[in-house]
Amino acid sequence: MKVLEIRNLEKSFEGVRVLEGISLSVEKGEILSIIGPSGSGKSTLLRCAVGLETPDRGEISFSGRFGMVFQQFNLFPHWNVLRNVTDALIRVRKRDRQEALGEGRALLKRIGLGDKEAAYPCQLSGGQQQRVAIARALALNPDILFFDEPTSALDPELTQEVLKVIRSLKELRIAMVIVTHEIDFARDVSDRIIFMAEGRIQEEGKPLEVLQSKNERMRAFLNRL
């Protein structure tokens, strides 16, 4: 069953075409990684998919709920970790407070931060903040989860913390769309990879098919990494 379908998506900024004829779909439980050089339209594609940007044309359809994990965490600095994770459950979903707090604590334990529920974002490392952001997205029980370069703001050691958590989510059978520059991670965790350049999908398929492609643009991208 498809949880996301995008058809002929196009987007321009000030006359510059950023996305051109993008079509893709994601099945329930599938992990799709999107790779490509800076400026290829990867993040714009995600922002259009979740409604943060309005496409010029094209269609986007969901089956179920979605969540989003951003590059810069976007935690509320004046709320502790547990409130950051559970506030939307209580205020938006109108869940019983004690039930929501219990679910939040279980999620924090799952990502290895069960002892940090009373801490504030400024007291956490970047990797810990990103893990809290993942828990916050999971709290809303999404059918598909979008990650926009989730490790781009982290040093290599903290990057591995976050990638380990994302790998562990695979068993939950939540569909994921991951924009990433971590090629080894994309190869290991993904069911499919899309390579984008110049606002278009240049290659799409199973990880090894894409990463071993003879496409010249693809080879040039990989050779620069």
pLDDT tens by residue, 203-218: 999 999 999 999 999 9
Reported as a pLDDT band with limits 50, 70 and 90, residue 124 is very high
Q: What pLDDT is recorded for position 73?
A: 86
CATH number at residue 19: 3.40.50.300
Q: Within this chain, do residues 183 and 161 fall inside the same structural domain, yes or no?
A: yes
> What's the predicted TM-score (pTM) here?
0.93
Q: Within this chain, do residues 164 and 206 fall inside the same structural domain, yes or no?
A: yes
Assigned domain for 70 exists: no
d(CA 104, CA 43) in angstroms, rounded, equals 28
* 203 DSSP β-pair partners: 195
H/E element holding 131? helix 126-139
Q: What pLDDT is recorded for position 161?
A: 87
The number of domains in the chain is: 2
Q: What is the pLDDT of residues 138-188, one digit of tens each?
A: 999 999 999 999 888 788 888 888 998 998 888 888 999 999 999 999 999
Long-range contacts formed by 22-26: CB under 8 A, 24+ apart: 22/58, 22/199, 22/200, 22/201, 23/201, 24/194, 24/201, 24/204, 26/2, 26/144, 26/175, 26/177
Q: What pLDDT is recorded for position 82?
A: 97
d(CA 171, CA 164) in angstroms, rounded, equals 13
Kind of pairing, strands 200-205 and 192-197? antiparallel
Q: What pLDDT is recorded for position 170?
A: 85
H/E element holding 31? strand 31-35
Assigned domain for 224 exists: yes
Reported as a pLDDT band with limits 50, 70 and 90, residue 102 is very high
Domain span including residue 85: 76-141
Q: What pLDDT is recorded for position 224?
A: 84
Domain boundary among 94, 118, 141: 141
Q: Within this chain, do residues 55 and 29 fall inside the same structural domain, yes or no?
A: yes
